[in-house]
Every structure is written in C-alpha cells, then in structure tokens.
Amino acid sequence: MSAVPRAHSQTLGIVIAGGRARRMGGGDKARIEIGGATILDRTLTRLRPQCDGMIINANDPARFADSGLPVVADSVPDYAGPLAGILAGLDWTAAQAAGIVWVVSAPSDCPFLPRDLVARLHQARIEANALLACVRSGERRHPVIALWPVKLREDLRHALTADHPRKVDEWTARYPIGVAEWPAKPVDPFFNVNTPEDAAAAARMAQQFPDF
C-alpha cells in the first residue's frame, strides 16, 4: 500500500456499511443517489484523498465487489453494531497495512463528509492529548465518525466479547477523547440518511449547495 505524504500521521479509512437499513424499508443506503452520485461514491470521493488506503466493512462482501476495495466482515458474531466494524478495520490494518497505526471510520450514509476530516481529527486528539477523537456538529456528537489507534484493538475485542457494548460512545467513554467541531449550518457535514425523508432532504441540500 503506497503512502501519500500528508501533514498528519498515516491513516487508513474504513467505511462502515454493515447496517440493515430497516428505516429505509430495506435496500442499500450506500447506493442511494444524492446530487448525481451514490452516497458511497460521495463518501469515497471525499475520504480517499485524506487517507493512505480505504476499506469497506460489510458482512456480505458481494455488495461492494464493484468498489475495487477490500471488503472486511465483522470478526465478532451477531451484528454487534458499528464497534464490530471498527474492530474489523483495526484488525485488517494491523495485518495488511504494516506501519499504519491510525484508522478513521465513517458510516456509509453520510453524503457531506468534510474534506479536512482526517486532519482535524488528528489535530483534536493531539490538542486534547487523547487516545481517540470524534466529531461534533452543532450540539451533537457523531461517535462513529472517529479516529482510532490500532493498538486499542484487543481492548475493543475484549469489550465486545465480554461487556457487549452496543453504542460506540458507551465504549469510548473509557478513554480520553478529543472532539473536532463543525457548524451544523448551512449544511450539517455529518447529516446521515436513515429514511426516505432524509434522502429527499439530502438531495435538496446537494442541489442548493452543490459545492459543499
């Protein structure tokens, strides 16, 4: 995997695409088109230039065979939520991307991710002298959009198999965490598409703010 020179530490990106899209009535949220491109394509277009490699977390790899990226399944059973996907990304990085010690995660349903996300997450964790960093827009934290050290993977594995946390912030509360902040207007960069109404709202935002 070739390294791309950047001001921040080498970082691998993982798109968490393991959700079942129940509120969408099934289907595949990542394939919804917003502003002429699927959410997955928008996510990769924004995140790939910031990272030293990309992978996708999904338990049915055939869904993303056309992406050309490694597709990594959860390593713990029973759809243990996004933390399981993050653990899969940390394990893959340790095994396949020697020398990279940071992973940034983002869900597959956020079409407006910032183009400086990774740099600002690194800045937040350095300024807070923290092990982790996540994002906040307005008054709301988004714990799945976060920066993770690969060295915490065994701690996370133990938690998932012994303590069974389902919410990301239930586990990250155990560690010092930095927070990178963005305004929520005119477009919340972490707006996520969970329902058909969300998809329609995202399409309107993409049309109104095409350069966002």
- The one-digit pLDDT tens for each residue of the chain (212 residues) are 434 446 678 999 999 997 555 554 556 889 999 999 999 999 999 999 999 999 999 998 888 999 999 999 998 877 678 999 999 999 999 999 989 999 999 999 999 999 999 999 999 999 999 999 999 999 999 999 999 999 999 999 999 998 888 789 999 999 999 999 999 999 999 999 999 999 999 999 999 999 88
Q: How far is the C-alpha of 66 from the C-alpha of 106, rounded, in Å?
A: 19
Beta strands 132-137 and 177-182, pairing class: parallel
Q: Which ranges of the chain does DSSP label H, i.e. alpha helix?
A: 39-47, 82-96, 117-127, 153-158, 168-172, 196-208
**Beta pairing, strands 54-57 & 71-72:** parallel
11-208 sits in which CATH class? alpha beta
Cα 164 from Cα 185, distance rounded (Å): 35
Q: Where are the domains of the chain?
A: 11-208
Q: Enter the tokens of residue 154.
A: 């065994």
Asked if residue 11 lies in contact with residue 100, where contact means CB atoms within 8 angstroms, the answer is yes
Residues 6+ positions from 16 with CB-CB distance below 8 Å: 57, 82, 85, 86, 105, 106, 107, 108, 144
Query: For 103-117, what is each residue's pLDDT tens digit?
Result: 999 999 999 999 999
Q: What is the pLDDT of residue 10?
A: 95
SS3 of 121, please? helix
Which of 211, 212, 32 is closest to 113 using CA atoms?
212
Q: Identify the CA nearest to 14 among candidates 78, 91, 76.
A: 91
pLDDT at 29 (0 to 100): 86
